[in-house]
């Protein structure tokens, strides 16, 4: 289309003083117009946007599915109760592919494209560690539900928090008194030969030593291994407890072959539920686990003494008494971890309210308000149990469950105390500049 | 390749660099960050392309060269407290040395055997990273702290975590490698490499030491990939074993195939295309890798020489 009137011809534009004054007056009028004021109000009552970094694909997808459901349920509950500071909460989801490089891109995307208020997510340690620099550089608070010790190690940065789930160091330490008192004092560890296994390798021996028990052998299994029988002769004959933390699809083969190796005469078995998250405990091959014990973050199966808050949480998330999706018994939940999403979102709510959070300009205040938190009482916001929070290391501490496999279910036989999992802080994030 | 004046060819490449420079000032924040990452990784693809595209050696182990640079730079900062410049040089040196050793061993094979041998060496490298987890951080990896990622230029600190500095640093590396690659492929050495690809026996008969030339290409390719890895560690602050996994050996192959093997600008186009297809489609579906796969199949069917390779074949025969 021809530009007959010279509309796009900037060279023909002349600006007289009168025209300029008219323009300025019109601009000022527009800024003060009712419509513009309404727009400003709409900004302050706009939803709080939470960037949700999710393992939708990749090795963490089973966790991601349940993290998604739990977080959606928590946001619905928060919004139904009036939101945060009177504003609705909106989750903006991006898939990190359970990949650290993509995880960092996703954090950048939340900060610079979606312009979310905070970032929230995700489980796998390498994704959290890979994403942490991006959170620090963008100065955007990054609340993770990862369980790893990396946040509490103070090797990340001031913008990374883990207030809704305990870290693995604390969990392992909490198990030691019960193992030494009830299972046995000579422990052989079997763990995968990568970081998750190393946490157990490094933190269990001193914790058991303090209880008068010993790790008498440590057997690291390479991550590429698909058959385990050749490792079992390394288990010393005097072993009273086998402490196993095999994760991933190999766990079924591992348990089956362990059963074939020992038959009916076996030492006590103690494992971490990470091995069997999203896996039916009654899967063929797992019969050998009957009578053995597991750490559980939050019980998969409904317990007779469940609190009203726990019952309400399970109903809101949509899990049945067996810890599977209501209506789909084969869709087993990741109960030991996903509660952390629910609780973290309520910590975010509390911290935003304490900080009087209005927008991204208050992110530093939000960091300081989160660091100032001390404890979370058990209740609808924290259905897993009471917790304390150490603002210097950005990590919460809570109770743990020890459950026994009985009749194809997991029955909680012991709950640890918060103090069982406390340890000396390894640093202080609050000394870092904001 | 039809002849074109060197001025025209260099003008095109300088034009691309100038365009990328200008984009820094107009791209929205997120895309500015994404472009920085893409340019750093396009260097990885360019290093791969030198061996795959111009020599015809298909390696499935280039992740080890990338991660040699990544860890060489990252670990010297993390454990030894080295400065950014020294760490970057250390990363490149690690990659060059590794490429020399791997080249000496792997070039005893060719074809499918070369592919398998490089993949096996890369797997060994990956498992070594896991084995020495106490130093490397294993599969979890390590963070190179923000404070350590500052380049001191005669007392003037340059914060690599600043988006513009990061973009310009990635562009500087990209520009140097692009021009260097162009110079190499247009040089006598580059023509020998293409001759090896086309007919190694005949090249030998003409009196060229093909093994020495291939070894030089492996070392140069590995060094460029290591430069990319070193830059990645220092610009983005994370080193992890996933960068040494087989996935990161296959990715540069895909980027190069997409953009056009044996084209100097193809690696950038392939990396850019793949990143944006993933980024955009992941916003709509969790099956985005399926879409990436379909895009790859369509390209192989309808543009088997890749985007730039097809353009060169049909319209711009002078493209290097």
Question: Could you report the per-residue pLDDT of A102-142, keeping only the tens digit for each?
Answer: 999 999 999 999 999 999 988 999 999 999 999 999 999 99
Q: Which of B237, B145, B159 lies closest to A104, judged by CA?
A: B237
Residue A195 has pLDDT above 70, yes or no: yes
Q: 10 Å Cβ neighbour count for B94?
A: 25
Over residues B77-100, the pLDDT tens digits come to 999 999 999 999 999 999 999 999
Tell me if B142 and A155 make a contact (CB, 8 A cut-off).
yes
Closest partner residue to B143 (CB to CB) among A105, A133, A222 is A133
What confidence tens digit (pLDDT) does each residue in A316-328 have? 999 999 999 999 9
Contacts of A91 (CB under 8 A, 6+ apart): A50, A52, A71, A72, A75, A120
Contacts of B35 (CB under 8 A, 6+ apart): B20, B23, B24, B27, B167, B170
Task: State in Å, rounded, how far the first CA of chain B is from the last one.
Answer: 7
**Structure letter (DSSP) for residue B196:** H
- The alpha-carbon gap from B138 to the nearest alpha carbon of chain A, in Å, equals 6
Q: Classify domain A169-296+403-412 at the CATH topology level.
A: Rossmann fold (3.40.50)
- Whether the per-residue pLDDT at A10 is higher than 70: the answer is no
Rounded CA separation A19/B263 (Å): 55
Enter the DSSP assignment of A10.
G
Q: Give the pLDDT confidence of B66-83 residue by residue, as tens digits.
A: 999 999 999 999 999 999
Query: Bigger pLDDT: B5 or A405?
Result: A405
Asked if residue A32 has pLDDT above 80, the reply is no
Contact A89, A75 (CB under 8 A): yes
Q: CB distance A195–B237 less than 8 Å?
A: no
CA angle B180, B182, B188 (to 5 degrees): 95
What average pLDDT does range A407-419 have in this prediction? 95
B33: left (phi over 0), alpha (psi -120 to 50) or beta: alpha
Residues A249 and B261: their CA atoms lie apart, in Å, by 38
Alpha-carbon distance of A25 to A378, in angstroms, equals 58
Give A92-107 pLDDT, tens digit per residue. Answer: 999 999 999 999 999 9
Residues of B with CB under 8 A from a CB of A: 28-30, 33-34, 37, 127, 130-131, 133, 137-146, 161, 236-238, 240-243, 279, 282-283, 286, 288-289
Listed by start position, the domains of chain A span 48-166+337-398, 169-296+403-412
| Residue B185 backbone phi and psi in degrees, to 5 | -70, -20
Nearest chain B residue (CA) to A155: B143
pLDDT of residue B3: 61
Q: Which pLDDT band holds residue A288 (cuts at 50, 70, 90)? A: confident
Distances (CA, A) of B74 to A127, B88, B90, B94: 17, 9, 9, 12
At residue A175, does pLDDT exceed 80?
Answer: yes
pLDDT of residue A36: 40
A266 contact B CB<8A: no
Q: Domain A48-166+337-398 - what CATH class?
A: alpha beta
B68, B91 Cβ separation under 8 angstroms: yes
Q: Under an 8 A CB cutoff, do A155 and B34 touch? A: no
Query: What pLDDT sits at residue A44?
Result: 66
Q: According to the model, what pLDDT value does residue B319 have?
A: 82
Angle at CA B64, nearest 5°, toward B63 and B68? 120
Whether residues B28 and A198 touch (CB distance < 8 A) is answered with no
C-alpha A50/C-alpha B167 separation (Å) is: 27
Q: What is the mean pLDDT of residues A83-91?
A: 96
Please report the DSSP string for A225-243 in residue order: ----GGGGGGS-TT--EEE
Least confident among A373-387, B191-205, B297-311: B297-311
CB atoms under 10 Å from CB of A312, counted, come to 15
Looking at the complex, report in whole angstroms how far the Cα of residue A126 sits from the nearest Cα belonging to chain B.
4
SS (H, E, C) A324-380: EECCEEEEECCHHHHHHHHHHHHHHHHHHHHHCCCCHHHHHHHHHHHHCCCEECCEC
Q: Which residues of chain A make contact with B142, given a CB cutoff of 8 A?
A: 129, 155
pTM above threshold 0.80: yes
Find which of B165, B281, B282 to mutate to test the A interface (most A CBs within 10 Å of its CB).
B282
CA–CA distance, A388 with B28 (Å, rounded to integer): 41
pLDDT given for residue B61 in this prediction: 96
Contacts for A39 with CB less than 8 Å, ≥ 6 apart: none
Question: What DSSP character marks residue B53?
Answer: I
Distance, C-alpha A93 to centroid of its chain: 15
**Tens digits of residue pLDDT in B129-177:** 988 988 999 888 999 998 889 888 777 888 999 999 999 999 999 999 9
Q: Which residues of A touch B239 (CB under 8 A)?
A: none
Q: Please check the confidence at residue B188 and state whether its pLDDT lies above 90.
A: yes
Q: How far is CA A374 from CA A309, A345, A371, A394, in A?
A: 21, 16, 8, 11
What phi and psi, each to the nearest 5 degrees, are found at residue A122? Answer: -120, 175
Q: Do A48-166+337-398 and A169-296+403-412 agree at the fold level?
A: yes
Q: Which residues of B touch A198 (CB under 8 A)?
A: 133, 138
Distance between CA atoms of residues B51 and B224, nearest Å: 11
> Rounded to the nearest 10 degrees, what angle do helices B306-314 and B266-281 cross at?
130
**What's B146's DSSP letter?**
G
CA distances from A25 to A16, A31, A38, B196 (A): 14, 10, 20, 73
Question: Which H or E element spans position B158?
Answer: strand B156-159
C-alpha A143/C-alpha A347 separation (Å) is 9
Contact criterion met (CB below 8 Å) for A166 and A298: no
Contact between A154 and A428 under an 8 Å Cβ cutoff? The reply is yes
């Amino acid at each position: 289309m021809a530009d007959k009137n010279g509309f796009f011809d900037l060279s023909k534009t002349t600006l007289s003083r009168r025209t300029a004054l008219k323009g300025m007056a019109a601009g000022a009028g527009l800024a003060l117009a009712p419509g513009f004021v309404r727009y400003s109000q709409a900004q302050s009552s706009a939803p709080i946007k939470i960037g949700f970094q999710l393992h939708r694909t990749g090795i963490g997808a089973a966790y991601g599915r349940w993290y998604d459901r739990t977080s959606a349920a928590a946001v619905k509950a928060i919004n139904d109760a009036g939101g945060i500071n009177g504003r609705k909460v909106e989750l903006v989801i991006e898939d990190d592919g359970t990949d650290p490089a993509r995880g960092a891109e996703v954090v950048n995307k939340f900060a610079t494209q979606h312009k979310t208020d905070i970032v929230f997510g995700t489980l796998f340690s390498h994704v959290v560690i890979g994403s942490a620099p991006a959170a620090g550089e963008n100065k955007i608070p990054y609340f993770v539900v990862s369980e790893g010790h990396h946040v509490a190690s103070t090797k990340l940065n001031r913008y990374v928090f883990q207030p809704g789930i305990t870290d693995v160091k604390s969990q392992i330490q909490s198990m030691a008194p019960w193992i030494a008192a009830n299972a046995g004092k000579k422990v052989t560890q079997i763990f995968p030969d990568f970081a998750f296994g190393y946490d157990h390798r490094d933190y269990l021996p001193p914790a058991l030593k303090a209880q008068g028990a010993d790790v008498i052998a440590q057997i690291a299994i390479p991550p590429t291994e698909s058959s385990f029988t050749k490792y079992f002769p390394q288990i010393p004959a005097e072993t009273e407890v086998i402490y196993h933390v095999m994760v991933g699809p190999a766990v079924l083969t591992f348990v089956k072959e362990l059963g074939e190796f020992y038959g009916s005469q076996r030492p006590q078995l103690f494992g971490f539920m990470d091995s069997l998250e999203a896996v039916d405990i009654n899967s063929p091959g797992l019969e050998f686990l009957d009578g053995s014990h597991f750490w559980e973050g939050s019980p998969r199966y409904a317990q007779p003494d469940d609190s009203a808050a726990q019952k309400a949480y399970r109903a809101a998330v949509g899990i049945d008494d067996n810890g599977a999706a209501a209506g789909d018994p084969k869709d087993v939940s990741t109960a030991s971890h996903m509660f952390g999403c629910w609780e973290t979102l309520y910590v975010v709510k509390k911290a935003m309210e304490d900080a009087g959070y209005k927008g991204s300009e208050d992110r530093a205040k939000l960091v300081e308000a989160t660091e100032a938190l001390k404890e979370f009482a058990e209740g609808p916001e924290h259905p897993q149990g009471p917790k304390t929070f150490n603002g210097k290391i950005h990590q919460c501490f809570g109770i743990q469950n020890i459950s026994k496999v009985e009749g194809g279910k997991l029955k909680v036989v012991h709950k640890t105390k918060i103090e069982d999992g406390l340890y000396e802080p390894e640093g202080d994030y609050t000394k870092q500049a904001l | 390749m039809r002849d074109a004046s060197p001025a025209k060819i260099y003008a095109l490449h300088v034009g691309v660099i100038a365009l990328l420079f200008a984009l820094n000032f107009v791209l929205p924040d997120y895309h500015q960050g994404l472009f920085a990452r893409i340019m750093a990784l396009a260097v990885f693809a360019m290093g791969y392309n030198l061996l795959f595209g111009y020599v015809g050696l298909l390696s499935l182990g280039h992740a080890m060269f990338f991660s040699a640079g990544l860890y060489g730079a990252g670990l010297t900062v993390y454990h030894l407290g080295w400065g950014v410049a020294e760490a970057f040089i250390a990363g490149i040196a690690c990659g060059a040395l590794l490429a020399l050793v791997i080249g000496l061993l792997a070039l005893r094979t060719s074809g499918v055997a070369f592919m398998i041998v490089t993949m096996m060496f890369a797997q060994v490298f990956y498992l070594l990273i896991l084995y020495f987890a106490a130093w490397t951080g294993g599969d979890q990896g390590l963070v190179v702290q923000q404070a350590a990622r500052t380049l001191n230029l005669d007392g003037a600190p340059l914060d690599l975590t600043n988006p513009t500095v990061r973009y310009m640093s990635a562009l500087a590396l990209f520009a140097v490698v692009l021009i260097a690659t162009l110079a190499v492929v247009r040089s006598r050495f580059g023509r020998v490499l293409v001759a090896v690809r086309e007919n190694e026996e005949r090249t030998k008969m003409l009196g060229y030491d093909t093994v020495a030339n291939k070894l030089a290409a492996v070392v140069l390719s590995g060094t460029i990939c290591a430069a990319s890895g070193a830059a990645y560690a220092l610009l983005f602050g994370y080193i992890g074993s996933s960068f040494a996994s087989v996935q990161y050996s296959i990715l540069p192959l895909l980027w190069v195939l997409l953009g056009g093997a044996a084209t100097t600008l193809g690696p950038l186009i392939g990396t850019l295309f793949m990143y944006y297809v993933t980024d955009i489609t992941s916003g709509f579906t969790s099956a985005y890798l399926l879409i990436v796969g379909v895009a790859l199949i369509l390209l192989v069917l309808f543009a088997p020489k890749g985007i730039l390779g097809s353009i060169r074949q049909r319209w711009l025969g002078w493209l290097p």
